[in-house]
Each structure stands twice: as C-alpha cells, then as structure tokens.
Chain A
Amino acid sequence: MREVMGVRMNLHVKDRVAVVGAGITLFRRRLLETPRELAWEAAKMALDNAGLTLADIDCVVIGTAPDAFDGIHFNGEYLADGAGGYGKPTVRVYVGGGTGVFVPIAAWWHVASGLCNTVLAVAEEKMSPAHPHPQGVFAYIWDPVLERPLGPNLIWIFAMEMRRYMHRCGATKEDIALVSVKNKRNALDHPAAQAAANITVEDVLNSETLVWPVNRLDISPVSDGAAALILAREREARRITDTPIWVEGIGWSLDNTHWYNRELGYPRYVQYAARMAYRMAGIERPWKEIDVAEPYDPFDYKELHHIEGLMLARPCEAPELLKEGWFDRDGELPTSPSGGLLGVGNPIAAAGLMKAAEIFWQLRYEAGRRQAKKPVHKGVAQAWGDLMQVGTVIVMSN
C-alpha cells in the first residue's frame, strides 16, 4: 500500500484558525423541534457564547447525515436558514458518520484559505421521523446486489468488526464493555446526555444479545439533536475572546466500500487521517503529546479501535490500558470525557460535532465536572463512518 496516502499535502495556510464558541441542544430520542429549529438553537447558543450575532458571520458550513433520516431531501438546503446560512456562502458537507468532525474540518479550510474571517459550523440530525425505526433506512447502506439479498441487519457489520478485533487482539467482551461503563458514567455530567447511567460490566453482558458479540448496552442510542461551533481567523479570534482554541491540524481519509475485502481488526483509514492531522500539528508522538481525546464511540469496541487508529495506543494495547484506568477522566489520557455517543447520544452528524465541542470546552477548562484531572494542552476529536471507511480527525490546542 502507498504509505504516503493521507499525509501528502500542502502545509502552507494563509490564516491560523481558532474555535471561539460552541453550542449544543439536548440529545433525545424524540424532540419537538424541526431540524431547522434544532440547528438554530445550537447555532444561537454558539453565537451567544462567542458574544457575536449572525451579522458577524461570513460563511456557514452545515453537516447532516443521509437525507433519509430526517426524511427531507436536500436537508442541507432545508437547514440553511436555521443554520444561519440566510444570504451567505453556505455549503453542506457529508462523509457518513464522519460528518460531525468533517464540519469543523471544512470550516477550517474556509478560514485557513483566507476566504472567510468567521464561519458558523452547524451539525444537525433528527433520526426520529423514520418509522418504525431508522433501521429501515440503514438497510440502504448495504450493496443492493451482493449484500442486501442476504437479509442483513446493520448491527451485523459492527458485530463482525468487533469479533475480528477481539480475535486479533485477544480482547474479551468484558474488556470492551468497560468502555460503555466509562462513557455512560462520564455522561452523568453532560447536560445534553440521553443515555447517562451508572452501570456495571455485568449490566452490559446481561443486556439483550442482538448479534453476538454485540449486546444492547454495547450500542449508542438513536437520537435527535444539533451542535454548533464558531471558527475565526487569528485576528478576529483574538478580538472575540481571550481564550481562543487553535485548530492545529485536520485530516481525513476514505477507504473503499468493499469492507469484506479488508482487515476489519484495524482502521487503517483512521490512521491515515490521524497522521495527516498530526503532521500538520507538528505532533510526532501522539500517545505522549495528546492530553485528551474524543474518539468516535457509536459502539463500545469502536472507541478502542479508534484509540489505536489514532495512535494513542499501540495496536491491541487499548483494552489493557482501559482496564488500568488510563482513559478515565483522572487517567493519563482521558478519552470521551463528554460521555461520548454511548452516554450523550448519537444524532449522527451532531454527535461528531459534540465531540469536537467537548475538546473545545476541555481545552478552555470550561467542562465543569467533566474536566480532565490532568493539565490539558492538546486534544483530538475523531469521527468515523460509512462502510468501515472514513476517518475524520481534528487536533486542537490552547
């Protein structure tokens, strides 16, 4: 394989970029608000947080997962006014589940290129409209010729990946369930949380087995919600706030859709994305230099998978470190201090942006009881999506 993939890029940027505000709505199974109202609520909170009004925003970036979830075609365009895109250069970006972190990535290049001084980045997802269950919509990610005729359920693919990871790394279901325990506990301190709880490994193992090795409590819930960030170039950022959080690196990478033609035990595409972001950020030893991380956790094993893909642990080392408390809030490298998708909820694009927002709050020391114990200088947020295919990574510092 061409090892240069994902790290071959131009590092010259016109403007340094900072995050200067963040907003979020409640994450819930079913919300009264329309998708554009959710987008507006999150965006309004981010503007208020930065002390700005919509008139101060030059450009808007919107992220939302497939239209079929919200049940509205051109959902990006539909959201445009709710997301503050009224009469402005506005674009919707989309890379499946990786969209949430791709939104600030796209916002970054709007600013870094010198095109916009300030960008409002909004992600929204409303998964409750599809009945009886969004599962029916998910059926459409399978190939219609070679996969759908076998009658698959979405969980199969995660179960297959989890099984492969367990085999490759000698990890047990108990080892992996600890992620769910940790994240749902962390989420008790997140005001948006939908699935926060004090549970034990036994609770996870005793919950309904859906597709062995996946039990119900290994999975994040179905959610409605929105989140927003405001990014600005250095000069504006310093005017807006005394504590801008710098975007030091971004990266993304896409593998092929033939997921059953690839090793499932390690996410190569996440590593490529991470190397791109670390290279830009001048990070050579991420396992030492990153202080806090938000790896994508729609399933509990995924957090471990992604910790390894992000090179925050060696391949297959994450389960052992997790057991030692390495990734707890008071550990060496807190992961998902927000509570993650498992605890806070999973409105797809909004969930990824929630992770980036958590790094912003952590680096500003504004996370309250969620704040990591150790001093934090550099953080990374990551999302993943499609058919075990895409990695999106953002590195920030204070």
Chain B
Amino acid sequence: MSWDKFWKASSVKHYPGKMEVEKYVYTPGIHGLEMAKALKEGRILGMRCGDTVYVPPRTFCPDGERGELVDVTDEEWIVAAFTVITRDMYGNPVEPQVVALVRPIDAEGGLFHYINAEPDEVWIGMRVRPVFRPEGERRGLITDIRYFEPA
C-alpha cells in the first residue's frame, strides 16, 4: 500500500525561513591570539614540532603535545597549488583572480591566499612573498596580508 499522490508538486505549500542569528563571533583561541598579534606586527607564525614546522600554528603537535611558535615571515614561500577565479559565488563574472595555497618551502600546511599576478604568470613551485597592509589597517586577521606577490 502506498500513499496516494493526489497532489501536484506545485500545489504543496512552502514556508520560508531564515537563520535567526545576527552574527557569529569567533574568538581567535590561544594560538590564534598569538598569530593575530603577529599579523598586526606584519609577521606570520608557524609551529615547530620536532623537525617539522606547521603553518599556520596547530592546536597541538601530532603527538598531542604543545609545540614551539616560530616566525616564518621571511622563509622562502612557494605556491603549492593554485586556481583562477572567474566568477563570484553567485555566478557573476569577475576580473580573473589567482588564489593559491602558499607555504614556506620546508613547512607543512600552508595559507590560503590571493596571488597578485596575472593567471598565466603563476606556476606551482613559484617563489612568492607576503605583502602586508599598512600597520594602521591591520586587525589581526588573515586579510592583514593583502596578498602574496612573486618574489
């Protein structure tokens, strides 16, 4: 026996809904706070666990212990992967923009960020360096780095 479908799909009623949250506020956390302070100073941090440096700093090292924070701003950064954005999230065309996973050449992990270069100039393994916003505009966020540019 089955439910008799004597209703057309178009006649089924619908109710609109909207998530009733004005905003979410995310605290940076213990290591995130250190990272945020560093960004304000125009620096990027990583975490050293034994022989490995993780960027950004992790909650804890793979063995469950806390690692040591290290400055990785002036390391040799490379493009580990990239893609070219041609549309926004609603499908509207935008100026081509390169987004990439960049990391210090010997580190694990990496940062997700913009590359200030033409799409056909970017390649995996390309050397890049961070460009920060002016000090007064920095708020301890990832956007304190304006983009990475070819080094």
What residues of chain A have their CB less than 8 Å away from a CB belonging to chain B?
Answer: 30-34, 36-37, 40, 43-44, 47, 53-55, 68, 71, 81-82, 84, 86-87, 128-132, 136-137, 139-140, 144-145, 148-149
Contact = CB atoms under 8 A, between A and B. Distances in A.
B29 A81 contact: no
15 contacts: A33-B27, A33-B30, A34-B26, A36-B59, A37-B30, A54-B64, A82-B60, A128-B25, A129-B26, A130-B21, A131-B24, A131-B25, A139-B20, A140-B19, A145-B13
A129 B24 contact: yes
A54 B30 contact: no
A296 B50 CA distance: 44
Interface in B25-82: 25-33, 58-60, 62-64
Interface string B114-140: 000000000000000000000000000
B17 interface: yes
A132 B64 contact: no
B95 interface: no
A36 B25 CA distance: 16
A365 B63 CA distance: 31
B17 A148 contact: yes
A144 B59 contact: no
Interface residues of B, number: 24
A30 B64 CA distance: 25
Interface in B87-121: none
Contacts of B21: 68, 71, 130-131, 136-137
B29 A37 contact: yes
A130 B60 CA distance: 26
Interface centre among B22, B32, B60, B63 (most CB of A within 10 A): B60
B60 to A, nearest CB: 5
Instruction: Tell me the interface secondary structure of chain B in the complex.
Output: loop
Contact of B20 (A82, A129, A136): A136
Contacts of B60: 40, 44, 81-82
B3 interface: no
Contacts of B31: 37
A101 B30 CA distance: 28
Given A32-B33, A145-B15, A44 B24 contact: no
| Minimum-distance CB pairs A-B, first 8 | A34-B29, A54-B64, A71-B24, A136-B20, A129-B24, A37-B29, A136-B21, A144-B15
A194 B27 CA distance: 19
Contacts of B26: 34, 71, 129
Interface of B: 13, 15, 17, 19-33, 58-60, 62-64
Given A34-B32, A136-B20, A144-B15, A82 B59 contact: yes
A71 B26 CA distance: 8
A156 B15 CA distance: 22
A34 B64 CA distance: 16
A144 B17 contact: yes
Contacts of A131: 21-25
Contacts of B13: 145
A196 B17 CA distance: 38
Contacts of A68: 19, 21
A129 B26 CA distance: 6
Contact of A31 (B20, B27, B32): B27
A30 B29 CA distance: 11
Contacts of A86: 62
B19 A40 contact: no
Contact of A132 (B22, B33, B58): B22
A132 B15 CA distance: 24
A69 to B, nearest CB: 10
B20 to A, nearest CB: 4
Interface centre among B28, B30, B64 (most CB of A within 10 A): B64
A139 B17 CA distance: 11
Contacts of A30: 27
Contacts of A132: 22
Contact of A40 (B17, B24, B59): B59
Given A128-B25, A131-B25, A139-B20, 18 more contacts: A32-B27, A32-B30, A34-B28, A34-B30, A34-B32, A40-B60, A47-B64, A53-B63, A71-B24, A81-B60, A82-B59, A82-B60, A129-B24, A130-B24, A132-B22, A136-B20, A136-B22, A148-B15
A31 B28 CA distance: 10
A84 B64 contact: yes
A137 B25 CA distance: 14
Nearest to A83: B59
A37 B33 CA distance: 12
Contacts of B20: 136-137, 139-140
B41 to A, nearest CB: 20
A34 B19 CA distance: 23
